[in-house]
Amino acid sequence: MTDEEPADSEPESADSDGPAVELDAVYDAIDAVGRPHLTATELSRKTDLTPDEAREALEALSEEGEIERQNVSEVESVWYPTDVAEVTDRERVVLFPDRREVVVEHPDQFTRAQLSQFARLQDSNRSGGYVYELREADVWAAPHESLDDLLATMRDVLGERSPHLEEWVTSQWERARKFRLYTHEEGYVVLEAESDDLMGNVARQKLDDEYLRAPISDSEAWVNRDATAEIKRTLYEAGYPVRDDRELDEGDALEMDLLLRLRDYQADWVERFTEQGSGVFVGPPGSGKTVAAMGTMAAIGGETLILVPSRELATQWHDELVRHTSLTDDDIGEYHGGAKEIRPVTIATYRTAGMDRHRKLFDQRKWGLIVYDEVHHVPSPIHRRSADLQTKHRLGLTATPTRESDDEEEIFTLVGPPIGTDWGKLFDEGYVAEPEVEIRLVPWGADDERTEYASTSGHDRRQAAANNTGKIEEIRYTLAQHPAAKALVFVEYLDQGDAISEAIDAPFISGETPHARREKLFDEFRRSERDTLVVSRVGDEGIDLPDAELAVVASGLGGSRRQGAQRAGRTMRPAGDARMVILATRGTTEEDFVRRQMRHLASKGIRVNETEAEAVEAPAAED
């Protein structure tokens, strides 16, 4: 080696007695510097090695073919793994504690599932980057039994401890335990504050005599038991979630046995619910929330009111209860537009139960448990009145608590805290099959459609993009790719549904379809007598289609983030491979709508890919 040559221009012998470095240490250092290569000096900074020792270790790995070197004129050589392409796609988690943000590049499913337990997905991009934010409400609603459990999950996914962030999380965790409601030994309801100051400066400032009847002590007050929902909501909005430790009504006795064996996680859900008295089972479709709810009914042993969003779901609940429990048809009543029966177990629609002329009938019954299926309906004004049954055990069921107005805190305030939100664990254990979700960008089917889109605005523009006829050919192509799959094609607009129905020779089910025919077609689909249906929003929720292996969304995700998860949920079953294809017209606002609406799925640990349409060639652009 001459004096003019760089000091590291020739590698030392692989038999050198210098310090060894594992390849994983190089990967970790590369992640730390934030690019797919590094110098010996950078490696030394990330390890306990001196620069010379780091250089010798890199040269040894180079001899073994694990890494390669690139000499750079007048600066230190850089080293990079031989699988550099894979390194650029490696998962990287970067924490910004001051902003309470986590940026993750190429997160795997488990990482996203972990993050969803204490943070909210704020943004994602096509290159695999995800931005999560930790908010007060996320800590308050974290599904952990202790602060130590929450902090352990955070450290695991973040890969480091952040004293600043953990101090803030600890303060929020403690803040959510400053107030509680409990039942006094004489039977009345008491609001208890952690300190005299909190009672005086928060509770008594926010709640007047209508809610706080009389002081019991400087930190306790007798409250109006009929106003507990409003008390909890008011204090939540003031930044103080209230623990509900009241002794809840057990209702008239209900003799009922569950004829199925609960899975371990379902049994855990039931046990946690019976300890709390209220809560929301949050899990993907196919995870068995309905079965767990039946287990809860058996554990509570009180007459039960089940609230559902549709008549179809009421009928489904009736059939499942008869099939899987010791209850008979005589024990179960339905109360909605098609039936008016109140029995020990009554299944009613939210709308009917909230009407003044029916509500008294429900209030007169001594219910021990209220089940709110598809609980994301509860916050909407027309359904909120049914949440006033605060003295009962309250169980919510949902895969998607997200609402457009971001008021999901209403669910946990009026019904209860979340139970069972670790979707990744259910995927890993094989209870639920993770669907392949693909956004497919479709060119215009005709020039005049593109021209019409350009000349419109607002809703008309969105509808023009949704009705792109190029999607029909893509639907045909997709169905032909999966000839043996049972398929659902979702649409938002009736004209589009009719056109697709005619093009692929499959029935179209919409809100205009008579109830009896709708049930007949769904039943034929369940029994595999039909393999394809075109459905409007009536298929978004409350319909049990357990064997759907392919979902094609032709339009409709622009209206609600929840629709994305509901429609993906039609394929999220433990039956094996499943696929969801979302069609969006390329170069339109529909692209942005679809990406935004799929963030909820991504935050729950489901990978969403984006591709180009394969069946349609774009028409030539106009001069």
Digit-coded pLDDT (tens) for 62-84: 888 778 776 654 456 766 666 65
Q: How confident is the model at residue 594 (pLDDT cuts 50, 70, 90)?
A: confident
Mean pLDDT confidence for 329-335 = 94
**Residues 388, 359: contact at Cβ < 8 Å?**
no
Task: Classify residue 529 by burial, with Cβ atoms within 10 Å: 0-12, 13-18, 19+.
Answer: exposed
74 and 56 within one domain:
yes
448 and 582 within one domain:
yes
Mean pLDDT confidence for 538-559 = 63
Alpha-carbon gap, residue 107 to 121, rounded angstroms = 12
Q: How confident is the model at residue 91 (pLDDT cuts 50, 70, 90)?
A: confident
Taking Cα atoms as reference points, which of 549, 543, 595, 538 lies closest to residue 572?
549
Q: Phi, psi at residue 362, to the nearest 5°?
A: -70, -40
Is 17 inside a domain boundary? no
Mean pLDDT confidence for 382-407 = 69
In this predicted model, which residue has the larger pLDDT, 214 or 127?
Answer: 214
Q: What is the pLDDT of residue 32?
A: 67
589 and 514 within one domain:
yes
Q: Which range is most confident: 141-145, 292-296, 419-423? A: 292-296
Q: What is the pLDDT of residue 2?
A: 39
453: left (phi over 0), alpha (psi -120 to 50) or beta: alpha
Q: What is the pLDDT of residue 423?
A: 59
Task: Convert the pLDDT of each residue in 12-26 to its tens digit.
Answer: 333 445 566 777 778
Q: What is the pLDDT of residue 617?
A: 56
At which of 135, 157, 175 does a domain end?
Answer: 175
Mean pLDDT confidence for 299-312 = 91
DSSP 269-319: HHHHHHHHSEEEEE--TTS-HHHHHHHHHHHH-B-EEEEESSHHHHHHHHH
At which of 428, 458, 484 does a domain end?
Answer: 428
609 beta partners: 438
CB within 8 A of 231, min separation 6: which ones?
Answer: 181, 191, 207, 211, 223, 224, 242
Find where tokens 């055990």 sit: 393
* Residue 30 belongs to domain with CATH number: 1.10.10.10
pLDDT, the chain, mean: 80
Q: With a cut of 80, say whether residue 196 has pLDDT above it.
A: yes
191 and 101 within one domain:
no
At which of 119, 148, 175 does a domain end?
Answer: 175
| Three-state secondary-structure class, residue 460 | helix
167 and 30 within one domain:
no
Neighbours of 424 (CB within 10 A): 22
Please provide the size of the chain in residues: 623
Q: Which range is most confident: 72-81, 165-174, 352-361, 607-616? A: 165-174
Taking Cα atoms as reference points, which of 471, 463, 477, 479 lies closest to residue 445?
471
Alpha carbon distances (Å) from 238 to 119, 206, 223: 21, 8, 18
Q: With a cut of 90, say whether residue 127 has pLDDT above it.
A: no
Neighbours of 195 (CB within 10 A): 12
Mean pLDDT confidence for 432-459 = 85
Whole-structure pTM value? 0.61
303 and 190 within one domain:
no
CB within 8 A of 520, min separation 6: which ones?
Answer: none
67 and 106 within one domain:
no
Taking Cα atoms as reference points, which of 449, 114, 422 lies closest to residue 264?
422
Q: What is the pLDDT of residue 216?
A: 94
Is 251 inside a domain boundary? no
Is 253 inside a domain boundary? no
Q: What is the pLDDT of residue 590?
A: 87
In this predicted model, which residue has the larger pLDDT, 327 or 434?
Answer: 327
Task: Convert the pLDDT of each residue in 130-139 to its tens digit.
Answer: 888 999 988 9
Alpha-carbon gap, residue 209 to 212, rounded angstroms = 5
In this predicted model, which residue has the larger pLDDT, 71 or 552?
Answer: 552
Q: What is the pLDDT of residue 89?
A: 58
Q: What is the pLDDT of residue 125?
A: 65
Q: How many domains does the chain have?
A: 5
Is 66 inside a domain boundary? yes
Which residue type occupies 90? R
* Residue 303 belongs to domain with CATH number: 3.40.50.300
Q: With a cut of 90, say whether residue 442 has pLDDT above it.
A: yes
In this predicted model, which residue has the larger pLDDT, 239 or 389?
Answer: 239
Q: Which range is most confident: 49-58, 102-111, 180-189, 603-612? A: 180-189
Q: Phi, psi at residue 369, to the nearest 5°?
A: -150, 135
In this predicted model, which residue has the larger pLDDT, 493 or 615?
Answer: 493
396 and 291 within one domain:
yes
CB within 8 A of 322, min separation 6: which ones?
Answer: 328, 329, 332
Structure tokens given for 311: 């008549």
Task: Convert the pLDDT of each residue in 489-501 to its tens digit.
Answer: 989 889 999 999 9
In this predicted model, which residue has the larger pLDDT, 420 or 305?
Answer: 305
Q: What is the pLDDT of residue 427?
A: 62
Q: Which range is most confident: 10-14, 193-197, 245-249, 364-368? A: 193-197
Q: How confident is the model at residue 304 (pLDDT cuts 50, 70, 90)?
A: very high
423 and 287 within one domain:
yes
211 and 117 within one domain:
no
In this predicted model, which residue has the larger pLDDT, 562 or 534?
Answer: 534
Task: Convert the pLDDT of each residue in 573-586 to its tens digit.
Answer: 444 456 888 899 99
Centroid of chain to Cα 368: 29
Structure tokens given for 176: 């959510």
Is 374 inside a domain boundary? yes
Q: Phi, psi at residue 243, to the nearest 5°?
A: -75, 135
Task: Classify residue 274 by burial, with Cβ atoms within 10 Å: 0-12, 13-18, 19+.
Answer: middle
**Residues 122, 130: contact at Cβ < 8 Å?**
no
Alpha-carbon gap, residue 597 to 567, rounded angstroms = 12
| Three-state secondary-structure class, residue 134 | coil
Q: With a cut of 60, say whether residue 619 has pLDDT above it.
A: no
Q: What is the pLDDT of residue 573?
A: 43
**Residues 168, 100: contact at Cβ < 8 Å?**
yes
Q: What is the pLDDT of residue 620?
A: 47
Is 247 inside a domain boundary? no
Is 5 inside a domain boundary? no
Q: What is the pLDDT of residue 407?
A: 59
Structure tokens given for 126: 């096509």
What is the domain extent for residue 224? 179-240
Q: What is the pLDDT of residue 405?
A: 44
Q: How confident is the model at residue 546 (pLDDT cuts 50, 70, 90)?
A: very low
276: left (phi over 0), alpha (psi -120 to 50) or beta: alpha
Mean pLDDT confidence for 494-522 = 89
Instruction: Return the percentage of the chain with pLDDT > 70, whole number.
Output: 77
401 and 271 within one domain:
yes
Q: What is the pLDDT of residue 87?
A: 52
536 and 485 within one domain:
yes
Is 44 inside a domain boundary? yes
Gyration radius of the chain's alpha carbons: 29
* 561-569 and 589-597 helices, crossing angle to 10°: 70
